[in-house]
Amino acid sequence: MSKNNVPYRSPWRRYREDASPRRRGEQSFQVVVEQTDLWITAREDLSSQALDLVHGLRGTLKAYIALHPSFAASLAPVAVSPEAPPLIRSMALAGEACGVGPMAAVAGAIAQGVAEGLAQCSPDVLVENGGDVHMISTTDRVAALLADPASTAGLGLKLAAEDFPLSLCASSGRIGHSLSLGRGDLVVVRSKSAAVADAAATALGNLLQSKKDLERVAARARELNDKGVDGVFAQMDGRIAVWGKMELQVLQV
Protein backbone atom coordinates (compact mmCIF):
# COMPACT_ATOMS: atom_id res chain seq x y z
CA MET A 1 0.00 0.00 0.00
CA SER A 2 1.38 3.37 -0.93
CA LYS A 3 1.69 6.19 1.57
CA ASN A 4 -1.40 7.93 0.24
CA ASN A 5 -3.42 4.74 0.75
CA VAL A 6 -3.82 4.15 -2.99
CA PRO A 7 -3.44 0.53 -4.19
CA TYR A 8 0.02 -0.20 -5.58
CA ARG A 9 -0.34 -1.05 -9.29
CA SER A 10 3.00 -0.09 -10.77
CA PRO A 11 4.11 -2.28 -13.71
CA TRP A 12 7.68 -2.03 -12.37
CA ARG A 13 8.24 -5.23 -10.39
CA ARG A 14 10.98 -4.08 -8.04
CA TYR A 15 11.02 -7.36 -6.13
CA ARG A 16 12.53 -9.08 -9.15
CA GLU A 17 15.73 -7.11 -8.65
CA ASP A 18 16.10 -8.82 -5.27
CA ALA A 19 15.38 -12.25 -6.75
CA SER A 20 18.41 -12.49 -9.01
CA PRO A 21 20.20 -15.88 -8.94
CA ARG A 22 22.53 -16.39 -6.00
CA ARG A 23 23.68 -19.84 -7.06
CA ARG A 24 26.45 -20.43 -9.53
CA GLY A 25 25.17 -21.79 -12.80
CA GLU A 26 21.72 -20.20 -12.57
CA GLN A 27 20.39 -17.21 -14.46
CA SER A 28 17.10 -15.34 -14.64
CA PHE A 29 15.23 -14.03 -17.65
CA GLN A 30 11.88 -12.46 -18.45
CA VAL A 31 9.26 -13.74 -20.89
CA VAL A 32 6.23 -11.56 -21.69
CA VAL A 33 3.25 -12.47 -23.86
CA GLU A 34 0.32 -10.07 -23.58
CA GLN A 35 -0.84 -10.19 -19.92
CA THR A 36 1.51 -13.05 -19.03
CA ASP A 37 4.73 -11.65 -17.53
CA LEU A 38 7.09 -14.35 -16.29
CA TRP A 39 10.35 -14.11 -14.38
CA ILE A 40 12.17 -17.42 -14.73
CA THR A 41 15.28 -18.81 -13.07
CA ALA A 42 16.95 -21.86 -14.58
CA ARG A 43 20.35 -23.42 -15.26
CA GLU A 44 20.46 -21.65 -18.63
CA ASP A 45 18.55 -19.07 -20.62
CA LEU A 46 15.49 -20.92 -21.88
CA SER A 47 13.64 -17.88 -23.18
CA SER A 48 12.81 -19.42 -26.53
CA GLN A 49 11.43 -22.62 -25.03
CA ALA A 50 9.47 -20.65 -22.43
CA LEU A 51 8.00 -18.40 -25.11
CA ASP A 52 6.75 -21.44 -27.05
CA LEU A 53 5.19 -22.89 -23.89
CA VAL A 54 3.44 -19.63 -23.01
CA HIS A 55 2.04 -19.25 -26.51
CA GLY A 56 0.75 -22.84 -26.37
CA LEU A 57 -0.91 -22.43 -22.99
CA ARG A 58 -2.43 -19.07 -23.82
CA GLY A 59 -3.65 -20.43 -27.15
CA THR A 60 -5.40 -23.30 -25.40
CA LEU A 61 -7.03 -20.91 -22.94
CA LYS A 62 -8.15 -18.43 -25.60
CA ALA A 63 -9.62 -21.14 -27.79
CA TYR A 64 -11.58 -22.60 -24.90
CA ILE A 65 -12.89 -19.20 -23.78
CA ALA A 66 -14.00 -18.41 -27.34
CA LEU A 67 -16.28 -21.45 -27.20
CA HIS A 68 -17.17 -21.13 -23.50
CA PRO A 69 -17.27 -17.42 -22.53
CA SER A 70 -18.62 -18.15 -19.04
CA PHE A 71 -15.31 -19.81 -18.18
CA ALA A 72 -13.63 -16.40 -18.22
CA ALA A 73 -16.50 -14.35 -16.81
CA SER A 74 -17.68 -16.43 -13.87
CA LEU A 75 -16.65 -15.66 -10.29
CA ALA A 76 -18.14 -19.00 -9.22
CA PRO A 77 -16.97 -22.52 -10.07
CA VAL A 78 -17.59 -23.70 -13.64
CA ALA A 79 -17.95 -27.36 -14.60
CA VAL A 80 -16.00 -28.56 -17.63
CA SER A 81 -15.95 -31.76 -19.61
CA PRO A 82 -13.45 -34.52 -18.73
CA GLU A 83 -12.28 -34.14 -22.34
CA ALA A 84 -11.32 -30.48 -21.82
CA PRO A 85 -7.58 -29.67 -22.13
CA PRO A 86 -5.48 -30.34 -19.00
CA LEU A 87 -4.92 -26.61 -18.37
CA ILE A 88 -8.67 -25.97 -18.43
CA ARG A 89 -9.47 -28.94 -16.20
CA SER A 90 -6.83 -27.98 -13.63
CA MET A 91 -8.21 -24.45 -13.39
CA ALA A 92 -11.82 -25.65 -13.17
CA LEU A 93 -11.06 -28.24 -10.49
CA ALA A 94 -9.09 -25.71 -8.45
CA GLY A 95 -11.93 -23.21 -8.68
CA GLU A 96 -14.43 -25.85 -7.63
CA ALA A 97 -12.31 -26.91 -4.66
CA CYS A 98 -11.95 -23.35 -3.40
CA GLY A 99 -15.34 -21.94 -4.37
CA VAL A 100 -14.11 -19.37 -6.89
CA GLY A 101 -14.17 -18.92 -10.65
CA PRO A 102 -11.63 -20.85 -12.75
CA MET A 103 -9.77 -17.71 -13.84
CA ALA A 104 -8.67 -17.27 -10.23
CA ALA A 105 -6.24 -20.10 -10.98
CA VAL A 106 -4.93 -18.93 -14.35
CA ALA A 107 -1.62 -17.32 -13.32
CA GLY A 108 -0.60 -20.27 -11.17
CA ALA A 109 -1.66 -22.82 -13.75
CA ILE A 110 0.40 -21.12 -16.47
CA ALA A 111 3.41 -20.84 -14.14
CA GLN A 112 3.27 -24.56 -13.43
CA GLY A 113 2.76 -25.47 -17.07
CA VAL A 114 5.83 -23.48 -18.08
CA ALA A 115 7.94 -24.82 -15.22
CA GLU A 116 7.08 -28.43 -15.99
CA GLY A 117 7.84 -27.89 -19.66
CA LEU A 118 11.22 -26.31 -18.93
CA ALA A 119 12.14 -29.02 -16.42
CA GLN A 120 13.06 -31.21 -19.38
CA CYS A 121 15.95 -28.80 -20.03
CA SER A 122 16.89 -27.75 -16.49
CA PRO A 123 16.63 -29.65 -13.18
CA ASP A 124 16.11 -26.33 -11.37
CA VAL A 125 13.29 -24.10 -12.65
CA LEU A 126 11.52 -21.31 -10.79
CA VAL A 127 8.68 -19.59 -12.64
CA GLU A 128 7.08 -16.48 -11.14
CA ASN A 129 3.94 -15.09 -12.75
CA GLY A 130 2.90 -11.88 -11.00
CA GLY A 131 3.46 -13.19 -7.49
CA ASP A 132 2.41 -16.78 -8.26
CA VAL A 133 5.37 -19.15 -8.31
CA HIS A 134 5.91 -22.79 -9.23
CA MET A 135 9.29 -24.17 -8.21
CA ILE A 136 11.20 -27.28 -9.21
CA SER A 137 14.48 -27.39 -7.32
CA THR A 138 17.27 -29.77 -6.33
CA THR A 139 18.38 -27.56 -3.42
CA ASP A 140 16.89 -25.73 -0.44
CA ARG A 141 15.37 -22.32 -1.16
CA VAL A 142 14.03 -19.31 0.72
CA ALA A 143 11.01 -17.51 -0.73
CA ALA A 144 10.51 -13.89 0.33
CA LEU A 145 7.12 -12.72 1.61
CA LEU A 146 6.59 -9.23 0.27
CA ALA A 147 3.54 -7.31 1.50
CA ASP A 148 4.81 -3.96 0.20
CA PRO A 149 6.33 -4.11 -3.32
CA ALA A 150 7.88 -0.68 -2.89
CA SER A 151 10.13 -1.95 -0.06
CA THR A 152 12.17 -5.05 0.74
CA ALA A 153 10.92 -8.25 2.36
CA GLY A 154 11.68 -8.91 6.02
CA LEU A 155 10.24 -12.42 6.20
CA GLY A 156 10.69 -15.49 4.05
CA LEU A 157 9.69 -19.15 3.89
CA LYS A 158 12.29 -21.90 4.22
CA LEU A 159 11.75 -24.60 1.61
CA ALA A 160 13.63 -27.90 1.76
CA ALA A 161 14.91 -29.65 -1.35
CA GLU A 162 12.81 -32.74 -0.62
CA ASP A 163 9.62 -30.64 -0.67
CA PHE A 164 9.88 -29.69 -4.34
CA PRO A 165 8.08 -29.34 -6.67
CA LEU A 166 5.73 -26.92 -4.96
CA SER A 167 3.86 -23.69 -5.52
CA LEU A 168 3.45 -20.47 -3.58
CA CYS A 169 0.69 -18.18 -4.81
CA ALA A 170 -0.22 -14.77 -3.46
CA SER A 171 -3.28 -12.56 -3.31
CA SER A 172 -3.61 -9.00 -2.06
CA GLY A 173 -6.36 -6.47 -1.71
CA ARG A 174 -3.79 -3.70 -2.04
CA ILE A 175 -1.32 -4.79 -4.72
CA GLY A 176 -1.69 -5.47 -8.42
CA HIS A 177 -4.42 -5.73 -11.02
CA SER A 178 -5.91 -9.13 -10.13
CA LEU A 179 -9.44 -9.05 -8.74
CA SER A 180 -9.63 -9.42 -4.96
CA LEU A 181 -12.68 -8.79 -2.81
CA GLY A 182 -10.55 -8.60 0.33
CA ARG A 183 -8.58 -5.79 1.94
CA GLY A 184 -5.59 -7.66 3.33
CA ASP A 185 -1.94 -6.85 2.71
CA LEU A 186 -0.97 -10.36 1.66
CA VAL A 187 -2.19 -13.95 1.58
CA VAL A 188 0.25 -16.64 0.42
CA VAL A 189 -0.83 -20.26 -0.08
CA ARG A 190 1.40 -23.30 -0.42
CA SER A 191 0.36 -26.33 -2.47
CA LYS A 192 1.80 -28.92 -4.81
CA SER A 193 -0.64 -27.59 -7.39
CA ALA A 194 -0.17 -24.00 -8.55
CA ALA A 195 -3.78 -23.86 -9.74
CA VAL A 196 -5.01 -24.85 -6.27
CA ALA A 197 -2.61 -22.44 -4.56
CA ASP A 198 -3.74 -19.60 -6.81
CA ALA A 199 -7.47 -20.28 -6.41
CA ALA A 200 -7.10 -20.74 -2.64
CA ALA A 201 -5.12 -17.50 -2.32
CA THR A 202 -7.98 -15.67 -4.02
CA ALA A 203 -10.64 -17.37 -1.89
CA LEU A 204 -8.78 -16.77 1.37
CA GLY A 205 -7.84 -13.23 0.38
CA ASN A 206 -11.52 -12.48 -0.19
CA LEU A 207 -12.21 -13.38 3.46
CA LEU A 208 -9.65 -10.92 4.80
CA GLN A 209 -11.57 -7.69 5.45
CA SER A 210 -10.04 -6.76 8.82
CA LYS A 211 -7.46 -8.01 11.31
CA LYS A 212 -10.23 -9.95 13.03
CA ASP A 213 -10.46 -12.19 9.97
CA LEU A 214 -6.90 -13.51 10.19
CA GLU A 215 -7.86 -16.49 12.35
CA ARG A 216 -10.80 -17.18 10.03
CA VAL A 217 -8.44 -17.29 7.05
CA ALA A 218 -6.16 -19.79 8.81
CA ALA A 219 -9.15 -21.94 9.80
CA ARG A 220 -10.50 -21.97 6.26
CA ALA A 221 -7.07 -22.91 4.90
CA ARG A 222 -7.06 -25.87 7.28
CA GLU A 223 -10.43 -26.96 5.88
CA LEU A 224 -8.92 -26.89 2.39
CA ASN A 225 -6.09 -29.22 3.35
CA ASP A 226 -7.81 -32.20 1.74
CA LYS A 227 -8.12 -30.16 -1.47
CA GLY A 228 -4.37 -29.72 -1.68
CA VAL A 229 -3.69 -26.63 0.45
CA ASP A 230 -0.58 -27.28 2.55
CA GLY A 231 -0.15 -23.92 4.28
CA VAL A 232 -1.09 -20.25 4.43
CA PHE A 233 0.48 -16.97 5.49
CA ALA A 234 -1.83 -13.98 5.93
CA GLN A 235 -0.93 -10.41 6.86
CA MET A 236 -2.97 -7.30 7.54
CA ASP A 237 -2.17 -4.07 9.37
CA GLY A 238 0.97 -5.39 11.04
CA ARG A 239 -0.53 -8.70 12.20
CA ILE A 240 -0.07 -12.15 10.71
CA ALA A 241 -1.63 -15.61 10.82
CA VAL A 242 0.22 -18.76 9.77
CA TRP A 243 -0.96 -22.34 9.35
CA GLY A 244 0.55 -25.49 7.87
CA LYS A 245 3.92 -26.08 6.23
CA MET A 246 5.12 -22.51 6.47
CA GLU A 247 8.49 -22.26 8.23
CA LEU A 248 9.26 -18.56 8.56
CA GLN A 249 12.74 -17.08 8.39
CA VAL A 250 13.84 -13.54 9.11
CA LEU A 251 15.62 -12.11 6.09
CA GLN A 252 18.62 -9.83 6.19
CA VAL A 253 17.77 -6.30 5.16
Q: What is the pLDDT of residues 75-124, one digit of tens each?
A: 999 999 999 999 999 999 999 999 999 999 999 999 999 999 999 999 99
Q: Is 65 a residue whose pLDDT tops 90?
A: yes
Percent of the chain scoring above 90 in pLDDT: 77
**Domains identified in the chain and CATH numbers:** 14-250 (3.10.520.10)
pLDDT at 182: 55
The tens digit of pLDDT for each residue in 8-22 reads 344 445 566 665 556
pLDDT at 184: 77
For residue 67, which of 52, 53, 50, 84 has the smallest C-alpha distance?
84
pLDDT at 5: 44
Q: What is the pTM of this model?
A: 0.89
Q: Is 250 a residue whose pLDDT tops 70?
A: yes
Mean pLDDT, all residues of the chain: 89
Reported confidence tier of residue 180, pLDDT bands at 50, 70, 90? low
pLDDT at 146: 81
User: What whole-number distance in Å separates Cα of residue 135 and Cα of residue 167?
Assistant: 6
Higher pLDDT, 252 or 145: 145
Rg of the chain taking only CA atoms, in angstroms = 17
Q: Is 166 a residue whose pLDDT tops 60?
A: yes
Reported confidence tier of residue 241, pLDDT bands at 50, 70, 90? very high
pLDDT at 173: 63
Mean pLDDT for the stretch of residues 220-226: 98
Cα→Cα distances 47→3, 4, 43, 78, 193, Å: 37, 38, 12, 33, 23
Q: Is 185 a residue whose pLDDT tops 50?
A: yes
pLDDT at 18: 61
Q: Is 2 a residue whose pLDDT tops 60?
A: no
User: What whole-number distance in Å separates Cα of residue 203 and Cα of residue 182?
Assistant: 9
Q: Is 133 a residue whose pLDDT tops 70?
A: yes
Helix (H) or strand (E) holding 32: strand 27-33
Q: Is 208 a residue whose pLDDT tops 80?
A: yes
pLDDT at 15: 61
User: What whole-number distance in Å separates Cα of residue 152 and Cα of residue 144?
Assistant: 9
